[in-house]
C-alpha cells in the first residue's frame, strides 16, 4: 500500500480522488499496462510522479481523469470527490483553441468576466493588453504555457493535472512556470505533476511517487510540507 506521505499535513484535507486495485490493460488482453494498488489524492497536496519514458505516467493521468483510449479497459475502483479536473499539457498551445484570440477563449472556456481573465493573466506575467487579441500561434512557447496555467487557474478545479509542463521550455522559462504553479494553485487545490525533471520534483512536491513498467515501485520522501488546507 502506498502511504499517505505527510499525514499530519493533510489529515484535515478533503479526499479528491482514490484508486484501489485499479488497472488498465488492452481490451481483450490480460497484459497490464498500469497497476495501482492504492493511491489517494487530497486537497493541498502537490504530488509529483516520476519514472522513465513508457513507465505509465501518462496512463496514470488518464486513470485519474477517467478518460482513456477506447482500446483500453479499466478494472478496479476509481472514486472521484470533485466535479472538475484542470489540465496543463506539455505544450501550452495544446490547451488553447488555435483560431480564437486568447482573451475571448479564456472568457468562454471559464465563464469568467473579462476583468477576472485580465487579472489572472497579469498574475502569470501576461499583462500586455495586446496579448488578449493574439491567437495561440502568435504566442511564444513560454507565453502559451503561462496561458495554459492561467486557464487551469480560472477553472477553479479542485484538482489540477500537469503533464510535463516545463519540458518544452528553457531553464529560465521553466523556473518561471514553476513559480507560477506554486503561486496560482491555491491551498484548497491539489496538483499532480508528471515530470522527468528532478528539479521540478524538488521545487513542487509534498509527495513523490515513481512508476516503472506500469507499477508503483516506491514513494520518495516528500520535499516539502503539504499546503495547509
Question: Mean pLDDT for the chain?
Answer: 86
Q: Which comes out higher in pLDDT, residue 185 or 13?
A: 185
Q: Which residues contact 198 (CB under 8 A, 6 or more apart)?
A: 50
Residue 2 lies in a domain: no
Q: Given 135, 151, 167, which residue is the final one in a domain?
A: 151
User: Could you give the number of structural domains in the chain?
Assistant: 2
The pLDDT assigned to 226 comes to 63
Pairing of strands 46-50, 190-194: parallel
For the stretch 141-168, pLDDT in tens is: 889 988 999 998 888 899 999 998 888 7
User: Within 85-222, where are the H helices?
Assistant: 102-110, 114-123, 141-155, 171-184, 198-204
> Cα 185 vs. chain centroid, distance in angstroms?
10
Q: How confident is the model at residue 227 (pLDDT cuts 50, 70, 90)?
A: low
Q: Residue 37 falls within a domain, yes or no? A: yes
Can you give the pLDDT at residue 2?
32
The pLDDT tens digits of the residues spanning 43-66 come to: 999 999 999 888 999 999 999 999
Q: Does one domain contain both 182 and 201?
A: yes
Bridge partner list, 79: 18
**Boundary (domain end) residue, out of 113, 135, 151:** 151
Amino acid at each position: 500500500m502506498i502511504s499517505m506521505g505527510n499525514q499530519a499535513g493533510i489529515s484535515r484535507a478533503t479526499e479528491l480522488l482514490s484508486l484501489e486495485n485499479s488497472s488498465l490493460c488492452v481490451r481483450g488482453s490480460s497484459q497490464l499496462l498500469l497497476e495501482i494498488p492504492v493511491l489517494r489524492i487530497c486537497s493541498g497536496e502537490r504530488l509529483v510522479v516520476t519514472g522513465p519514458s513508457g513507465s505509465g505516467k501518462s496512463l496514470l493521468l488518464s486513470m485519474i481523469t477517467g478518460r482513456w483510449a477506447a482500446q483500453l479497459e479499466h478494472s478496479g475502483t476509481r472514486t472521484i470527490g470533485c466535479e472538475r479536473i484542470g489540465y496543463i499539457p506539455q505544450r501550452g498551445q495544446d490547451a488553447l483553441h488555435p483560431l480564437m484570440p486568447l482573451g475571448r477563449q479564456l472568457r468562454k472556456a471559464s465563464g469568467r468576466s473579462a476583468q477576472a481573465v485580465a487579472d489572472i493573466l497579469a498574475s502569470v506575467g501576461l499583462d500586455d493588453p495586446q496579448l488578449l487579441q493574439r491567437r495561440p500561434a502568435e504566442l511564444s512557447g513560454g507565453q502559451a504555457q503561462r496561458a495554459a496555467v492561467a486557464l487551469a487557474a480560472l477553472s477553479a478545479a479542485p484538482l489540477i493535472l500537469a503533464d510535463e509542463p516545463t519540458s518544452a521550455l528553457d531553464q529560465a522559462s521553466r523556473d518561471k512556470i514553476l513559480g507560477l504553479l506554486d503561486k496560482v494553485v491555491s491551498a484548497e487545490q491539489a496538483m499532480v505533476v508528471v515530470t522527468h525533471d528532478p528539479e521540478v520534483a524538488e521545487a513542487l512536491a509534498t509527495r513523490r511517487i515513481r512508476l516503472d513498467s506500469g507499477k508503483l515501485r516506491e514513494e520518495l520522501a516528500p520535499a516539502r510540507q503539504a499546503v495547509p488546507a
